[in-house]
């Protein structure tokens, strides 16, 4: 029989409270990582699969925010940390949190409709993962300070040479939209 320690009871109690808190604040029908971890489902690919399936079954777009903290309503927020650090008041629980990072996205191939990547470093492995998960008619939205965007834009144009790329710059921020075809 599995030994139950005081520490494991406290951890389960905290996860239970997180689940209730998350359900109350973000009652949009999406089972998030907090609830799944409570059920001992800690594999990020299982968590991601359930989150994606709920959106597909309800005919919603599958939106992924890499490094996200809850800025886009209904988006799956891929982040190694469960608490916000930059969006709004820091220390809040991230809604629709999916543990992970851009270099190893635990989502099936070709199912994401929109990917957001803002103010986070653009790494080759992250862009390869984005290419893997984006749907054939998906969109990729990048937003970075212009001086940084100027550095990676040529590589993006090469990587996405057969897709439509729109670039907008304003007040030192460059937004890049890649439309898959």
What confidence score (pLDDT) does residue 20 get? 58
What confidence score (pLDDT) does residue 77 get? 95
Question: What does the DSSP 8-state code read for residue 36?
Answer: H
What confidence score (pLDDT) does residue 164 get? 95
pTM, entire model: 0.78
Instruction: Domains for the chain: give ranges and CATH numbers.
Output: 45-179 (3.40.50.150)
Residue 164 falls in which region: left (phi positive, over 0), alpha (psi -120 to 50) or beta: beta
pLDDT digits (tens, 9 = 90+) for 128-140: 999 999 999 999 9
Q: Tokens 């710059």 appear where?
A: 169
Interhelix angle 146-159/124-133, rounded to 10 degrees, is: 60
Residue 61 clears pLDDT 90, i.e. is over it: yes
Q: What is the mean pLDDT of the chain?
A: 84
Residue 39 clears pLDDT 80, i.e. is over it: no
Residue 36 clears pLDDT 60, i.e. is over it: no
Give the residue ranges of DSSP H helices in 5-145. 6-25, 33-38, 44-57, 124-133
């Amino acid at each position: 029989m599995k030994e139950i320690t005081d520490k494991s009871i406290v951890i389960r109690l905290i996860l239970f409270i997180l689940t209730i808190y998350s359900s109350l604040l973000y009652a949009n029908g999406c089972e998030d990582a907090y609830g799944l971890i409570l059920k001992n489902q800690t594999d990020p690919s299982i968590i991601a699969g359930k989150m994606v399936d709920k959106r597909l079954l309800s005919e919603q777009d599958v939106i992924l925010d890499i490094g996200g903290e809850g800025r886009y309503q209904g988006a799956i927020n891929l982040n190694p940390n469960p608490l916000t650090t930059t969006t709004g008041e820091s220390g809040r629980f991230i809604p629709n949190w999916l543990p992970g990072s851009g270099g190893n996205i635990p989502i099936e191939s070709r199912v994401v409709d929109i990917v957001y990547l803002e103010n986070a470093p653009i790494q080759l492995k992250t862009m390869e993962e984005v290419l893997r998960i984006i749907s054939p008619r998906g969109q990729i939205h990048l937003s970075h300070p212009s001086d940084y965007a100027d550095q990676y834009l040529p590589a993006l144009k090469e990587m996405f040479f057969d897709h439509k790329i729109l670039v907008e710059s304003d007040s030192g921020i460059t937004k890049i939209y890649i439309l898959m075809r």
